[in-house]
Amino acid sequence: MADIRLEGITKRWGDVVAVDELDLTIEDGSFTCLLGPSGCGKTTTLRMVAGLEEPTAGRIHCGQKLVHCSERGISVGPHQRGVGLIFQSYALWPHMTVAQNIAFGLEMQKMKQPQITERVREAASWMQIEEYLHRYPSELSGGQQQRVALARSLAPRPDCLLMDEPLSNLDAKLRLDMRTELKRIHAMTKMTILYVTHDQLEAISMATTVAVMKDGKLQQLEDPLKLYKHPNNMFVANFVGSPPINAISGQIYAEQGVWRVRAGDMVLTLQKNPEDDVKIKDGQTVTVAVRSEDILLDDPSAPSMAMTVYSSLPTGSDTFVRLTRGDVGIMAKIYESDNLPVDSKASVSFRPERILLFDGDTGNRISLGSSLVGFNEASAS
Amino acid sequence: MPAEKGGIQQMKNQIEQPNPGRVPLFLERTWNRSRRVITNPPMLLSILLLGVFVYLVIVPLISLVHSSITLHSRDTLRVLGGRVGELTSFYLQRVFASNISEVLFYRPLLNTILISFSMSALAISLGCVLAWIVVRTDIPFKKLFSSAAVVPFILPSWTISLAWMTIFKNRTVGGSAGILEYFGVQLPDWISYGPVPIVICMALHYYPFTYLLVGSALRDFDTRLEEAALVLGANRSVILRRVVLAVVAPAILSSFILTISRGIGSFSTPVFLGNPINYRVLSTRMFASLQTGSPGDAYVIAMVMILLAVLLIFLSNKVLGKRRSFVTITGKAPKPQLVKLGKLRIPVAIAVGLFLFSVIVVPLFVLAADTFMRVPGVYSLDNFTLHYWIGESTPGLVDGRPGILRDATTWKALGNSVKLGLSASVLCGFFGILIGYTVVRMRGTRIASILDQLSFVPYLIPSIAFGAIYLSLFAVRRGPIPSLYGSFLLIILATTAKNFPFAAKAGSSAMMQLGHEVEEAGIIAGAGWFTRMRRLILPLQRSGLLGAVMLPFISAMRELSMVVILTTPGTELLTTLTFRYSDYGFYHMSNAVVLLLVVIIVVMQYIMQKITGSDLSEGLGG
């Protein structure tokens, strides 16, 4: 068992920088998700950890072992790193049966035949594919192939399991099944898992740690639930969560312990969060960001503002309501099924301590969560 | 984050320490890196393959140029004070600017251009019409027609020429006359020999290029485009002209390039139908120069042929490069709506049937019939004989040679052909897989693109010029390499090298399909390179490998123009044997050997299609 440390890892192809000075520690026994949009460098990072791609600069440690060091030209082969890898396409060898696929890595470790048989059976039983051991991959469904790929990676008992978007070829239902399965495997084996995905839901629901990447740079390394609640910047706030976070742009003014944000024809008065310790400039552009589920409709206990229902989309369990006021538009998620008529009026308030503030220029977070304490219409001046 | 950053900085400092003053960092880095590059199998392979290509393709090309500007031993007396091996412009001058240039170069050049263009025009018209009828109309017997239409290309290219002679030969060059003369039809020379029959016979051999390319373009053609035009009120002929033709244009253009570049290098048809009346094209002129002991002239002409071919490919890339987008917009269209021929349906089917009958069945039948006649040109039953097939040696009849099935010469030639086919195809398959593997693995690096381009070079060189190149390189001893002329190895080398482009293409497309993850999964599992090749990659390449092996085999079996200048009596092949027999005027024997060859090739082709399930269009180059 081992942690994986990446220090100053950079990967360049010509002028294209895929990964840019990445410092990242994957804790021993963690389930770390590399999350980001396509082209953010997450798969490249994973392949560099596996040893399939060589970093242009930087160092990688697997536990005590230095497996890559650009300065010294050291690069240890993949099989000496103690990693298993699950490919997006599974990459099962089509000319071998399931059992032969699983046994291959064990043979390469010069294991004795009885032991191989034992290990193959064991891995197959973990993944509940014992009955398919003598079939060829083409005779299996996508979900079964995925299980075989997992068994093949688990059989040699690697210290660390790397997975590259393993569920993206499955349909929605199987994906849900496999997520529960993967989370159990992690709990059972206590193995370090590095998991690449662009699906924020996958990351939040399975990982113990999520690393959000963008343009080859690490944006935030965080516990998944904290990540959702306290994104470091506007990119993370937007990328994590569905529907995307509501963003209202405005100018901020500090005034006697409160912030006033002027956005369109509204002035929002926000109570600072006691943990916030940020200096702001009067008149600075900020983004007020609120998750859909933190928007409340017709709640008399909180200060509210009047908005118009643009349209409402009930799903059965809850309802998405699109609300507008002037140029400002937000999407609320309310936990009841209701079909609000188009163009009806609604009074909108925000759940306390859930209003995030981001710097309008840099996108960095200003507030961990403020509360709306007042609402005014902007004076004509 | 700031706190963590500090921690990592500290860690960095710690790690940079353990190597103080022992070995300079950059030395350690260079040592480690170069060790890894050198032990990287794809890298090693690229270097190895680069060596093979340089030796089998580049060096021969250079040697050709060199041979055309250095004095050969026979010509020392013709150049004042000339010594062997001296640089000279003697050959260039003689070919391009002397009183024999006209016969030696300009007229053959003109003939070559004339024949290539008219042949291509005819072949393309035939191919287009046939493709359109078979793909887009409701003609009956579609399946039969569509597979029969490509048969002329599978047959050796001179089959039709030999059949033409058997039918249309007149008495100009002595010997027996053709069938028509026998029935009292007086034939002028221009029907029996020269440009007209050459153009027709070549067009009948090469139209399948157009048929296949245009046919597949029409098949992928989104008929909704047509329907859109129909809805907008265009009539059938406008649609055909402005929509169908416009979309198929790139396919027509590429088949034009394919056809005409073959036309430039074509040897066998002009040699059979042009030589009797001294009608020469570049290839036959070059061959004559070689035979009459003027290799210098031959090499100059070979260079011109290569330049012509390269020019054509270059032009086609320029034109096609711009228009390729036309081809790619075809999506998966609904099943094309077939054009209803109505009352014309049966007559058109009969016409197509007759055409295919007369270019496939008639020539083969005529050739076969000819081999069963004791005295050539006497078409009566009592003239029937099996002598030319199984007869004992009879003095006075074809120099007292026994029937071809009894003749040791035939079996030896057959043995040689098979040997050549097997060795060339095994070598090609081997290299094809290696080239494919290397190019795909090293993709994006300079060495991969160099390899990719080098493997394509033999395609640019007309076969007969390719033969000349090998002759020029290996005719004499050069450094450590002994003279290979007359050896079977030379023929194998040349055939292998000539087939590199197809082998490489088959190999790399098979590798592309395989993707890199299959191998990477093996790397992760800890399998070494040889284990990965043996247990993971090769087993999955079986059908691709078969394609890379079978194509060169078939193409080696029917290759004439390249090997004709490399074979000697000891290394006779079936193809060169037919050529020699026909040269002696033993048309029966020649025809019989061709038939034997046809049987072998058709069987091989059939087996290949059954096993690989591959389309004939892959064999376009063969």
Instruction: State how far residue B44 is from chain A, nearest Cα, in angstroms.
Output: 17
Kindly state whether A13 is in contact with chain B, defined as any CB-CB distance less than 8 angstroms.
yes
Q: Do B478 and B55 form a contact (C-beta atoms < 8 A)?
A: no
Do residue B15 and residue A66 have CB atoms under 8 angstroms apart? yes
Both tokens of residue B34? Answer: 């170069």
Identify the weakest region by mean pLDDT among A44-48, B191-195, B377-381: B377-381
Quick one: average pLDDT of A117-124?
94
pLDDT score for B376: 66
CA distance B257 to B249: 12
Task: Report the gap between the CA of A23 and the closest CA in chain B (Å).
Answer: 8
Evaluate if residue B195 carries a pLDDT over 70: yes
Angle at B258 between CA B253 and CA B260, to 5 degrees: 90
B524–A73 C-beta distance less than 8 A: no
A79 to B525: CB separation less than 8 angstroms, yes or no: yes
- A219 to chain B: closest CA residue: B1
Comparing C-alpha atoms, which of B574, B619, B618, B577 is closest to residue B599? B574
Choose the mutation target among B4, B441, B523, B524 for the interface with A, i.e. most A CBs under 10 Å.
B524
The pLDDT confidence band at residue B612, using thresholds 50, 70 and 90, is low
Where would I find the beta strands (DSSP E) of B215-357?
none
Query: Side-chain half-sphere of A303: how many Cα atoms within 13 Å?
Result: 13
Interchain proximity B444–A13, CB inside 8 Å: yes
More confident residue, B608 or B353: B353
What is the nearest CA distance from B58 to chain A, expressed in angstroms?
30
Pairing of strands A83-86, A74-75: unpaired
Q: Which of A73, A75, A91 lies at the smallest CB-CB distance from B521?
A: A91
Selection from B617, B519, B544, B446 nearest residue A85 by Cα? B519
Q: Within 10 A of A243 (CB to CB), how many other CB atoms are there?
A: 13
Cα angle, residue A201 at apex, residues A197 and A203 outer, rounded to 5°: 45
Percent of chain B past pLDDT 90, that is, above it, reads 17
At B128 the three-state DSSP class reads: helix
pLDDT at A32: 95
Q: Does A109 touch chain B (CB under 8 A)?
A: yes
pLDDT in tens, A67-99: 999 888 888 888 888 899 999 888 999 999 999
Q: How far is CA B569 from CA B101, B110, B485, in A?
A: 32, 33, 12
Q: Which residues of B touch A88 (CB under 8 A)?
A: 517
- Mean of the pLDDT values across residues B8-15? 44
pLDDT at B15: 45
What letter does residue B340 receive in the DSSP assignment? P
Is the model more confident about B458 or about B108?
B108
pLDDT reported for residue A215 = 92
pLDDT at A98: 95
Asked if A108 lies within 8 A of B12 by C-beta distance, the reply is no
Question: How does residue B114 score in pLDDT terms, banded at 50, 70 and 90?
Answer: very high
Instruction: Say whether B526 and A93 touch across the interface (CB within 8 A).
Output: no
Yes or no, beta carbons of B29 and A94 under 8 Å apart: no
Per-residue confidence band for B476, with pLDDT thresholds at 50, 70 and 90: confident
Distance between CA atoms of A175 and A206, rounded to whole angstroms? 12
Which amino acid is located at B219 in the chain?
A: R
Q: Is the pLDDT of residue B221 over 80?
A: no
CA distance A76 to A58: 14
CB within 8 A of B538, min separation 6: which ones?
A: B433, B545
Q: Which helix (H) or strand (E) holds B34?
A: helix B25-38
Q: Which of B1, B515, B527 lies closest to A108 in CB terms?
A: B527
Q: Detail the DSSP E strand segments found in A215-318.
A: 217-222, 246-255, 258-263, 266-271, 284-290, 295-297, 305-314
Among all chains, which residue has been given the structure tokens 């992928």? B220
CB contact under 8 A, A59 and B5: no
Q: Where are the alpha helices (DSSP H) in B97-168?
A: 101, 107-136, 142-148, 151-154, 159-168
Strands ordered across the beta sheet of A57-62: A16-26, A4-13, A57-62, A65-69, A74-75
Q: Do B32 and A72 touch (CB under 8 A)?
A: yes
Dihedral (CA of B599, B601, B606, B610) sign: positive
Beta bridge partners of A306: A347
Position B475 scores a pLDDT of 75
DSSP B373: B
Q: What is the mean pLDDT of residues A106-121?
A: 93
Closest-CA residue of A relative to B40 is: A77
Residues in B whose CB is inside 8 Å of some CB of A read: 1, 4-5, 8, 11-12, 15-16, 19, 25, 28-33, 36, 444, 515, 517-518, 520-527, 531, 535-536, 539-540
- Residue B521: its chain A contacts at CB < 8 A? 85, 87, 91-93, 152
Mean per-residue pLDDT, A109-130: 93
Tell whether A155 lies on the interface with B, counting CB pairs under 8 A: no
pLDDT tens column, B289-348: 988 888 888 989 999 999 988 888 788 777 765 544 444 333 444 555 677 788 888 999
> What DSSP string describes B576-612?
HHHHHHHHHT-HHHHHHHHHHHHHHHHHHHHHHHHHH
* Cα nearest neighbour of A85 on chain B: B524
Q: How far apart are CA B268 and CA B154, in angstroms?
A: 15
* Nearest residue on chain A to B35, alpha-carbon basis: A73
Q: Around B430, how many Cα atoms within 13 Å sit in the side-chain half-sphere?
A: 11
Chain B touched by A244 (CB under 8 Å): no
Chain A residue whose CA is closest to B538: A95
pLDDT bin (cut points 50, 70, 90) of residue B10 is very low
pLDDT score at B395: 72
Span B354-392, pLDDT tens digits: 999 999 999 999 888 888 877 766 667 777 777 778 777
Q: How far is A326 from chain B (nearest CA, A)?
A: 39
| Angle subtended by helix axes B500-514 and B542-558, to nearest 10 | 170
What integer is the mean pLDDT of A315-324? Answer: 90
pLDDT of B523 above 80: yes
Counting one residue from chain A and one from chain B, the pairs whose CB atoms sit within 8 A come to 88
**Closest chain A residue by Cα to residue B9:** A7
Contacts of B524 in chain A (CB under 8 A): 50, 52, 78-79, 83-85, 105, 153
Contacts of B445 in chain A (CB under 8 A): none
**Residue owning tokens 């038939």:** B595
**What is the amino acid identity at position A127?**
M
CB contact under 8 A, B8 and A89: no
The beta-carbon neighbor of B521 closest among A77, A87, A95 is A87
Residues in B touching A49 (Cβ below 8 Å): none
Does A66 sit within 8 Å of B520, measured CB to CB?
A: no
Question: How far does B425 lie from chain A, in Å, by closest CA?
Answer: 25
d(CA B569, CA A108): 54
Radius of gyration over every alpha carbon of chain B, rounded to an integer in angstroms: 28
Containing H/E element for B435?
A: helix B408-441
Q: How many residues does chain A have?
A: 381
Is the pLDDT confidence value at A380 over 50? no
Model confidence band, residue A163 (pLDDT cutoffs 50, 70, 90): very high
User: What is the average pLDDT across B127-134?
Assistant: 91
Left, alpha or beta for B502 (phi > 0: left; psi -120 to 50: alpha)?
alpha
What's this model's pTM, rounded to 2 decimal places?
0.78
Of A23, A73, A88, the CB nearest to B32: A73
Does A94 lie at the interface with B, CB-CB under 8 angstroms?
yes
In this predicted model, which residue has the larger pLDDT, B542 or A105? A105
CA-closest candidate to residue B266, choices B360, B203, B214: B203
Minimal CA–CA distance to B476: which of B460, B456, B462, B490? B490
Check CB contact under 8 Å for B524 and A72: no
Cis peptide before A243 (omega within 30 of 0): yes
Q: Do B11 and A5 touch (CB under 8 A)?
A: yes
Across the interface, do A105 and B526 touch by the CB < 8 Å criterion? yes
Under an 8 A CB cutoff, do B28 and A72 touch? yes
Tokens (6 digits) for B305? 């042929």
φ, ψ (nearest 5 deg) of residue B472: -65, -35
Q: Characterize B263-281 residue by residue with b for buried, 16 or more Cβ atoms within 10 angstroms of its Cβ, and e for exposed.
A: bbbbbbbbbbbbbbeebbb
Determine the pLDDT at residue A223: 93
Q: Which of A5, A72, A77 sits opposite B25 (nearest CB)?
A: A72
* Residue of A86, A78, A79 whose CA lies nearest to A150: A86
Tokens 């053709």: give the residue. B178
A346 contacts A315 by C-beta, under 8 angstroms: no
**Nearest residue in chain A measured CA to CA from B36:** A75
Measured between CB atoms, does A14 come within 8 Å of chain B? Answer: no
Give chain A positions within 8 Å (CB) of B539: 95
Highest mean pLDDT among A228-232, B167-171, B504-508: A228-232
Contact A322, A331 (CB under 8 A): yes
The confidence score (pLDDT) of residue B109 equals 94
Q: How confident is the model at residue A209 (pLDDT cuts 50, 70, 90)?
A: very high
Q: Provide the pLDDT for residue B6.
A: 42
A160 Cα to chain B: minimum distance (Å) = 12
Radius of gyration of chain A (CA): 25
CB-CB neighbours of A114 under 10 Å? 8
The crossing angle, in degrees rounded to 10, of helices A142-154 and A172-189 is 20
Q: Which residue of A has its CA nearest to B16?
A: A71
Q: Which amino acid is at B486?
A: G
Task: Name the CA dihedral angle for B157, B160, B163, B168, rounded to a multiple of 10 degrees.
Answer: -120
Edge to edge, what strands does the sheet with A328-334 contain? A295-297, A345-350, A305-314, A319-325, A328-334
CA A267 – CA B388 distance, rounded (Å) = 108
pLDDT given for residue B336 in this prediction: 59
Q: Any residues with CB less than 8 A from the CB of B193 and at least 6 apart, and which? A: B172, B173, B273, B274, B276, B277, B279
Q: DSSP letters of B59-111? A: HHHHHHHHHHSB--GGGTTTSTT--TT-B--HHHHHHHSSTTHIIIIIHHHHH
Average pLDDT of the residues of chain B: 81
Pairwise CA distance, residues B504 & B511, whole Å: 10
Residues linked to residue A32 through DSSP beta bridges, in sequence order: A194, A209
CA distance A258 to B129: 83
Tell me the average pLDDT across B235-240: 78
User: Which pLDDT value is given to residue A221?
Assistant: 94
> Coil, helix or strand for A174?
helix
Instruction: Please name the amino acid found at residue B144.
Output: L
User: For chain B, which domains are there?
Assistant: 41-67+409-622 (1.10.3720.10), 100-395 (1.10.3720.10)
pLDDT surpasses 60 at B621: no
| B536: closest chain A residue by CA | A93
Residue B143: partners with Cβ closer than 8 Å, 6 or more residues away: none
Residues of B in contact with A103 (CB under 8 A): none
Shortest Cα distance, chain B CAs vs residue A240, angstroms: 20
A251, β-bridge pairs: A262, A285
Point out the residue among A59, A92, A109 whose CB comes nearest to the CB of B15: A59
